[in-house]
């Protein structure tokens, strides 16, 4: 059996589903294929889904700011909820990074981000449970927050389907060949062949093996990250701003009414690089749990008392990393495009990257400046680096 389509999107995580939505919205005949049986079953499902514009790379700030606005109006545009919670987003630094935070906040403000500097006392007024004595300065984005990965990815998938996209789950790609005229012939696991004028790879941690089918060597390596969700005391229930603790090298956000998501911002905890994404340990080690409890009790009142700070759940997910921990948004010839290697930034950027990749596949001008994200930067030894490197958090921003 053979199918012909204008654009084939490979990968049914959030990035692929967002791209399929924008393609279908434009009227293009769109087919999406995904190896799993449901959208967003892998990286998307384990995302912290934090939405912020706090970056040290101006191009990323601009993309994230536009994406933030789209999450705020997501329900109206897509017609389904994404679970966006405008909790706010905060950053804590000590004396070593105080001037850096001033500089980066000034850059954010110049680009239109609603960011401001706060004293530790002022931030504690917003988050009364914070232990803030070791902080020298804080930044706050009132429009930041977080969303729901399952709601967001299923909303994009459902809307893309309503607009005419053909979404095929349980359909792994096994081979690809360039057509004599133009475009690609892609073989699926059931033997079906899809002929497409354009292909967009949104393949996440599978980018290296899938890219090789198309003659690409995409430098994307899975890295395991461990997440712990802790119980909060009753006095600390409800929503609170996301806290990026660049002193304690952790980040925290609300998880339901009584949980606290704890992730690491320590480079030393993010070096578990894997040769392939299959078969990784999805659990968490005793050290990761102990570190999460220690960091939470250090930063928040009540997390060390009695049974509070107990573990609600814990698990591991994968970052799709590149050598500089920044994405590859590129075209390889006129018919092949890739949006891969997001290194933890993908969820917050999906609304704008999906539109950008749809434009590439349709031969339209880029709606956003993504020129710094070409893969050639690695061979040319010009990796993307923050303009404002934090002393402790290193490359993560």
Do the domains at 2-46+150-220+324-379 and 84-145+221-321 have one common CATH topology?
no
SS3 state at 336 = strand
Confidence (pLDDT) at 180: 77
Pick the CATH number of 84-145+221-321 from 3.40.640.10, 3.30.9.10, 3.30.420.40, 3.30.2350.10: 3.30.9.10
Distance of CA 112 to the CA centre of its chain: 21
* pLDDT higher than 90, residue 8: yes
Please tell me the predicted confidence (pLDDT) of residue 76.
97
The pTM assigned to this predicted structure is 0.96
| Rounded Cα gap, residues 371 and 356, in angstroms | 11
Burial of 246 (0-12, 13-18, 19+ CB in 10 A): buried
Q: Per residue in 95-110, pLDDT tens?
A: 999 999 999 999 999 9
Superfamily of structural domain 2-46+150-220+324-379? FAD/NAD(P)-binding domain (3.50.50.60)
Domain spans of the chain? 2-46+150-220+324-379, 84-145+221-321
Q: Could you give the percent of the chain with pLDDT greater than 90?
A: 89
**Per-residue pLDDT, 179:** 87
Taking residues 352-369, what's their average pLDDT? 97
Q: Which residues, in sequence order, are CB contacts of 348 under 8 Å at separation 6+?
A: 49, 50, 51, 52, 64, 67, 68, 71
Q: Kindly report the number of other CB atoms within 10 A of residue 133's CB atom.
A: 7
pLDDT at 308: 63
| Segment 313-329, tens digit of pLDDT | 999 999 999 999 999 99
Long-range CB contact pairs, 248-254, < 8 A, 24+: 248/92, 248/295, 248/298, 248/299, 249/295, 249/392, 249/393, 250/292, 250/295, 250/296, 250/299, 251/48, 251/50, 252/296, 252/299, 252/300, 253/48, 253/50, 253/87, 253/146, 254/85, 254/87, 254/146
306 has pLDDT over 60: no
């Amino acid at each position: 059996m053979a199918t012909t389509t204008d654009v084939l999107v490979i990968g049914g995580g959030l990035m692929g589903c967002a791209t399929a939505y924008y393609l279908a919205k434009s009227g293009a005949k769109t087919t999406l294929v995904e190896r799993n049986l449901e959208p967003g079953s892998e990286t998307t499902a384990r995302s912290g889904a934090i939405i912020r514009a706090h970056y040290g790379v101006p191009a990323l700030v601009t993309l994230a700011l536009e994406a933030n606005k789209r999450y705020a109006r997501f329900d109206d545009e897509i017609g389904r909820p994404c679970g966006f919670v405008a909790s706010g987003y905060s950053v804590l630094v000590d004396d070593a990074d105080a001037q850096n935070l001033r500089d980066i906040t000034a850059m954010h403000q110049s680009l239109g981000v609603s960011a401001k500097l706060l004293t530790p006392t002022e931030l504690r007024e917003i988050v009364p449970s914070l232990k803030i004595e070791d902080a020298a300065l804080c930044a706050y984005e009132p429009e930041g927050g977080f969303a729901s990965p399952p709601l967001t990815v299923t909303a994009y998938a459902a809307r893309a389907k309503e607009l005419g996209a053909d979404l095929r789950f349980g359909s792994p790609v096994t081979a690809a060949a360039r057509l004599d005229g133009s475009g690609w012939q892609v073989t699926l696991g059931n033997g079906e062949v899809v002929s497409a004028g354009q292909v967009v790879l949104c393949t996440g941690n599978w980018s290296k093996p899938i890219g090789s089918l198309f003659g690409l060597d995409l430098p994307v390596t899975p890295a395991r990250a461990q997440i712990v969700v802790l119980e909060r005391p009753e006095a600390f229930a409800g929503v609170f701003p996301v806290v990026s603790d660049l002193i304690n090298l952790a980040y925290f956000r609300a998880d339901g009414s009584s949980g606290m998501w704890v992730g690491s911002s320590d480079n030393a905890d993010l070096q578990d690089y894997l040769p392939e994404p299959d078969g990784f340990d999805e659990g968490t080690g005793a050290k990761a749990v102990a570190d999460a409890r220690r960091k939470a009790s250090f930063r928040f009142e009540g997390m060390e008392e009695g049974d509070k700070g107990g573990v609600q759940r814990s698990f591991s997910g994968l970052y799709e990393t590149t050598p500089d921990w920044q994405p590859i948004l590129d075209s390889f010839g006129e018919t092949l495009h890739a949006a891969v290697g997001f290194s933890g930034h993908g969820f917050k950027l999906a609304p704008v990257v999906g539109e950008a990749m749809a434009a590439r596949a349709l031969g339209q001008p880029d709606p956003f400046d993504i020129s710094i994200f070409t893969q050639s930067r690695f061979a040319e030894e010009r990796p993307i680096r923050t303009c404002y490197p934090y002393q402790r958090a290193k490359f993560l921003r």
